[in-house]
Amino acid sequence: MTGSNQQPEKHPDFVFLTHEPMNGSPPMPFLVQEFITPVDLFFIRNHGTVPQINPDDFRLTIDGLVNKPLELTLDALRQFPHVEVMATLQCAGNRRQELIDIAPIPDEIAWGGAAISTAVWGGIRLRDVLIAAGFDRKARHIAFSGVDEVERKEDTFGFGGSIPVEKALMPETLLVYEMNGEPLTPVHGYPLRVVVPGYIGARSVKWLTRITAQAEPSSNYFQRIAYKLFSPNATPESVDWEHDGIMMGENSLNAVICYPGDNDTLAPGEISVMGYALGDGYNQIEKVEVSGDSGRSWSRATFLTDNQDLWAWRLWEARLQIDITTTHIIARATDTAGNSQPRDTQEIWNFKGYGNNAWHRLKVQVRI
């Protein structure tokens, strides 16, 4: 295995926020052009150098609380039934820039709302491999280890994480070797990754080489410390990193405006507002509403597709009347269980900038 920091084949308009490690996303309007995100526009979230793996040398180890530890080649993995799942992946830091606008969040990527994409993932069910290994029912968590090398505080280690065993056994949780009908590209996890629909992207570990059934969550830095949600009044100096905070798992209900853009100048009259909405993986999205008068009145959006997939976003469009009094355009979503988004980003600000699902507000100018 060797590392690579060569730039992947991405769309000319793809925006790289960092190059080493490689992180970037498409321009916001591109997100609503196609329901399935093309690979050259799919967002990138990496923590270390992209590894280059020889498929002939690849082995996946399944160990821990199992009766029959396994070491599987790619050919052996392909002997399990092939399945596909359409799912949206979202970085836990999506929409962090709005939280940074409230107070600084040092050493974190200033994501806008484009750290999210949707693909058709092809591979095998994780549960089929766990059953083949005879996992022990005492296992409560399934941990994943990747082969990429990450540096933190002068220590070098592989990226990892875990999910509860109940989620690992669900039919939508996959070991993936295909993306939109083609083999995974190196930057997106070739030759094998996990895809955990409905969970933050950090749990869909790339360049997967080990699966461990265990009683406790993963002890990896990115499970134990990094991807945790702290209260708005917590500070890096005040928290107990080992014991405070919540290990992040499921996504939260969210609706985001992709067009028009923040600080755009618009003509008065009726405009088109377009965006995406993502549910929590348990409930379908019931409606998306937009407002141009600070929430005094709302216009209901129309969904652009009729998909009811719990794991995929819904694209939407609304017609909205604006005039010279309009200073912001706001979007919010409600799901079939009646859940809605927090009104204000102040309510959910946290020093890591994770999980922003407040009403999405764009600042606009309406020319006279």
β-bridge mates for residue 195, sequence order:
174
What was the pLDDT predicted at 196?
98
How far is the C-alpha of 61 from the C-alpha of 129, rounded, in Å?
A: 11
Q: Which residues of the chain have pLDDT under 50?
A: none
How far is the C-alpha of 183 from the C-alpha of 342, rounded, in Å?
A: 39
- Cβ atoms of 269 and 367 within 8 Å: the answer is no
First to last CA, the chain: 60
> Would you state the torsion angle of the CA atoms of residues 150, 151, 156, 158, taken in this order, to the nearest 10 degrees?
-20
The helix (H) or strand (E) run that includes residue 127 is: helix 126-132
The helix (H) or strand (E) run that includes residue 99 is: helix 96-100
Give the global pTM.
0.95
What was the pLDDT predicted at 242?
86
Q: Among 251, 275, 262, 267, which Cα is nearest to 30's? A: 275
Residues in the chain: 368
What was the pLDDT predicted at 305?
87
How buried is residue 205: exposed, middle or buried, by Cβ count under 10 Å (0-12/13-18/19+)? buried
What was the pLDDT predicted at 247?
96
Q: Among 162, 140, 177, 247, which Cα is nearest to 210's? A: 162
Q: Among 358, 365, 302, which Cα is nearest to 331's? A: 358
What was the pLDDT predicted at 6?
59
- Cβ atoms of 194 and 203 within 8 Å: the answer is yes
Residue carrying structure tokens 């093309």: 38
The helix (H) or strand (E) run that includes residue 221 is: helix 221-221
Residue carrying structure tokens 């030759």: 191
Give residue-wise pLDDT tens across range 87-136: 999 999 999 999 999 999 999 999 999 999 999 999 999 999 999 999 99
How far is the C-alpha of 98 from the C-alpha of 96, rounded, in Å?
A: 5
How far is the C-alpha of 331 from the C-alpha of 285, rounded, in Å?
A: 14
Give SS3 for 58: coil
What was the pLDDT predicted at 154?
75
Give SS3 for 156: strand
List, in sequence order, every beta strand (DSSP E) within 167-305: 174-179, 182-183, 193-195, 208-214, 228-229, 246-247, 254-259, 265-266, 269-278, 285-291, 299-300, 302-303
Note if the bond before 191 is cis, omega within 30 degrees: yes
